[in-house]
Amino acid sequence: MKLSFSTGRLYALFTILFLSCALQVQAARIPVLDVTAKHRPQVTTTAPATDQNLTGWISLGDRGRITAVKRRVGKSAAKATYLPNIRKKITSKSVIIMDAETGDTIFSKAPDNPRQPASTIKVLTGMIAIKSLDRNETVGVSRHASGMPRSKIYLDTKKQYKADDLINAVLLASANDASVALAEKIAGSEENFARMMTLRAKLWGAKNTICRTASGLTAKGQQSTARDLATIFRYLMENENFARRMQKTKVTTSYGKTLRNHNKALWRVKGANGGKTGYTAAARQTYVGKFTREGGSIIVAIMGSETMWSDVKNLVEYGFQRKQQIARTQMEKTRVAQAD
């Protein structure tokens, strides 16, 4: 059958368009996978060849290699450290984690709320005694001192004791009777000594600490804060005599009595350098201590805890993780600043 002129022209045009599309497909070199193929064929693409041109380009790469998928331009290569919600893991009412080198706060929870400090305040008593008395100086015991409630080492009013033994009894065994005996020896009365403690606390950086007793037993008007305890302990641990005593798990007095350290963190928590525990019904559990690991040292202070040792362990682990994270961030900022 003969085609009309107009129909013939349309047929010719359709043929030209079909051939044109076929040529474009051939130019693109689109591969066809064989059903038995185990690997995809190598495809020539116009993918960017340089790092600068990678923005917006995502390639799956070869089989078994995921480098290109993981890589994203503009994001730090450093792997982020997962940090738990530490507030949900502790019972303490007031907390601070302090960088022992700089004094900067790493973490805090109500750090300036005043609370009864309990026996943690004995670190002031021990340090003042170290500075005020010779280690072999003798100390008498009044009825007031010997009548203190536990914890105590049951001092005898008829005997004299070496200052060195009583200082260890205060710092390690948290002895209330030894605290008062030292206070009376140094200042004439516990009341006078408590005023001395308050002044020393302010001198050593604790602005919200008021002492009424040498032992930390609950007293009206007596108070401290987690920040103050950490500040005081950070300063005191720079004293070699004080720090050496705080590291001992037990000592034997000159008269043969063994004093055991109440700070269980020394054998329970990695990196513990020393610390002081405390407890009264009003204060609940309190603690201040120093810990050192690779990368530096931290001070941990807690007040109003119901699960002291669990809180201390969780806070120490968190503190070092956070300290490392801060260090990495600072290094990255420095690197970027130098590059600019």
Q: Is position 50 within any domain?
A: no
Residue 83's pLDDT is what? Answer: 77
Q: Is position 46 within any domain?
A: no
Element (H, E) at 106: strand 105-109
Residue 338's pLDDT is what? Answer: 83
DSSP 39: S
Q: Which residue has the higher pLDDT, 237 or 25?
A: 237
Decide: 187 and 193 in contact? Cβ < 8 Å.
yes
Q: pLDDT tens-digit profile of 74-131?
A: 444 344 456 779 999 999 999 999 999 999 999 999 999 999 999 999 999 999 999 9
Q: pLDDT tens-digit profile of 26-84?
A: 544 444 444 444 444 444 444 444 444 433 444 444 555 544 444 443 444 344 456 77
Residue appearing with tokens 């359709």: 14
Residue 94's pLDDT is what? Answer: 98
pLDDT band, very low/low/confident/very high, at 339 (cuts 50, 70, 90): confident
Q: Is position 273 within any domain?
A: yes
Q: Which residue has the higher pLDDT, 130 or 5?
A: 130
Q: How far apart are CA 144 and CA 129, in angstroms?
A: 19
- Residue 25 reports pLDDT greater than 60: no
Q: How does 147-172 read in b/e, with b if 16+ C-beta sit within 10 Å?
A: ebeebbbebeeeeebbbbbbbbbbbb
Q: Which residue has the higher pLDDT, 47 or 142?
A: 142
Inter-helix orientation angle 122-132/163-171, to 10°: 160
Q: Is position 48 within any domain?
A: no
pLDDT band, very low/low/confident/very high, at 147 (cuts 50, 70, 90): very high
Q: Is position 289 within any domain?
A: yes
- Residue 288 reports pLDDT greater than 60: yes
> Which CA distances in Å does 210 have to 11, 83, 159, 216, 257?
104, 35, 32, 11, 33
Decide: 197 and 124 in contact? Cβ < 8 Å.
yes
What is the count of structural domains for the chain? Answer: 1
β-strand partners of 95: 109, 302
Residue 17's pLDDT is what? Answer: 61
Q: Is position 218 within any domain?
A: yes
Residue 12's pLDDT is what? Answer: 60
Report the chain's mean pLDDT, rounded to a whole number.
85
Q: Is position 22 within any domain?
A: no
Please choose, from the candidates 152, 187, 192, 193, the residue with its C-alpha nearest in 3D space to the C-alpha of residue 173: 152
- Count CB neighbours of 268 within 10 A: 11
Of 58-72, 162-176, 241-255, 314-328, the poorest mean pLDDT is in: 58-72
Query: For residue 317, what is the domain's CATH number?
Result: 3.40.710.10
Q: Is position 77 within any domain?
A: no
Most confident listed range (7-11, 56-60, 75-79, 173-177): 173-177
Query: What is the chain's length?
Result: 340
β-pairing, 272-280 vs 250-252, is unpaired
Q: Which residue has the higher pLDDT, 37 or 201?
A: 201
Number of H helices, E strands in the chain: 11, 9
Residue 30's pLDDT is what? Answer: 42
Residue 8's pLDDT is what? Answer: 58
Residue 84's pLDDT is what? Answer: 75
- Count CB neighbours of 77 within 10 A: 6
DSSP 247: T
What is the domain extent for residue 303?
86-339
Angle at CA 331, nearest 5°, toward 326 and 333?
95
Q: Is 31 left (phi over 0), alpha (psi -120 to 50) or beta?
A: beta
- Residue 211 reports pLDDT greater than 70: yes
Burial of 283: CB neighbours in 10 Å, binned 0-12, 13-18, 19+: buried
The tokens of 251 are what? 């000592």
Q: How far apart are CA 42 and CA 210, in angstroms?
A: 78
C-alpha 254 chain-centroid distance:
38
Which pTM does this prediction carry? 0.76
